[in-house]
Amino acid sequence: MVRNLKARGLAGELAAEFVGTMILILFGCGVVAQVVAAGIGDHDSIAWAWGIGVTLGIYVASRISGAHLNPAITVALAVFKGFSWRKVAPYALAQTAGAFVAALLVRWNYTEVLNAADPGLTIKTQGVFSTLPGNGTLPVGDWGAFRDQIIGTAILALVIFAITDLRNTAPAANLAPVVVGFLVVAIGMAWGTNAGYAINPARDFGPRLMSWLTGYDTAFTDQYGYPYWWIPIVAPIIGAVIGGAIYKYFIERYLPAEPAPEALPAKDIERVS
């Protein structure tokens, strides 16, 4: 989610990104812990909770920071939408910190259940906090996961750019966060096999670091022993830039100069530029 920001102050924007991302991860990692460690729910529960978490995180942060909640989206906004490059690193750090704290709360709350399901804190429950190729069990290699994360994040960025563009058919009545949530649900249901649809460096690295600090010795590697941690960071950034480029050069350039009349009530969710 993006919007036109005026005189909010960087500290306020970073606080909003921190809390918005924290809300996202509380629901996301929380539901995976419930499904994986307690056996309550299934893949659909995970997809829906992640999507709802995105929606709620956006509603929490949008008015102050634009609710990027994702370093890959922040980079794409800097490349294509005029978002200040000097804010990219601070936003990414705030997002990662929010994800770290949320994952720590999930880890603490589900301590007993996680220890009962996986006393050694192994790959079996590592996926509660961070992604793995093939979700740790399917025959997908690291480069297959890298490809998957590029594609999935390209879809995410492309559609977010469309949803938040008032010159396109933007959702009215402040419903854009709901539509973005549905987008994440759809990505989870259609693109969750090869790499667990991290599509967000902060979502993956913050919880990954937390899990390593709290007993998951293999947190930075995958089931093959490969140092996997960098893939959900680099691939989503590449994908977001590709998705933004597709929107800019295949859609945006052909839109009318003025916003569609029906989009005007949604002025609170303007893009950065």
Over the stretch 193-216, which tens digit does the pLDDT of each residue have? 999 999 999 999 999 999 999 999
Q: Exposed, middle or buried, 18 (CB in 10 Å: 0-12/13-18/19+)?
A: buried
According to the model, what pLDDT value does residue 268 have? 42
What pLDDT was estimated at residue 270?
39
Q: Do the beta carbons of residue 11 and residue 192 sit within 8 Å?
A: no
Residue 187 has pLDDT above 70, yes or no: yes
CB-based burial of residue 160 (10 Å sphere; 0-12 exposed, 13-18 middle, 19+ buried)? Answer: buried
**For residue 117, how many C-alpha atoms fall within 13 Å in the half-sphere facing its CB?**
20
Residue 148 host element (H or E):
helix 142-163
Chain centroid to CA 234: 14
pLDDT in tens, 229-268: 999 999 999 999 999 999 999 999 999 988 866 655 433 4
Residue type, 137: T
Q: Which domains does the chain have, with CATH numbers?
A: 10-253 (1.20.1080.10)
More confidently predicted of 266 and 40: 40
* Confidence at residue 258, expressed as pLDDT on a 0 to 100 scale: 82
Give the list of residues 6+ apart from residue 1 with CB closer than 8 angstroms, or none. Answer: 58, 61, 62, 66, 67, 68, 69, 160, 164, 176, 177, 180, 269
pLDDT given at position 266: 38
| 3-state secondary structure (DSSP) of residue 173 | coil
pLDDT at 272 over 70: no
Mean pLDDT of 82-98: 98
- State both tokens at 116: 């009962």
- d(C-alpha 118, C-alpha 112), whole Å: 10
pLDDT value at position 257?
85
- 112-129, pLDDT tens digit by residue? 999 999 999 999 999 999
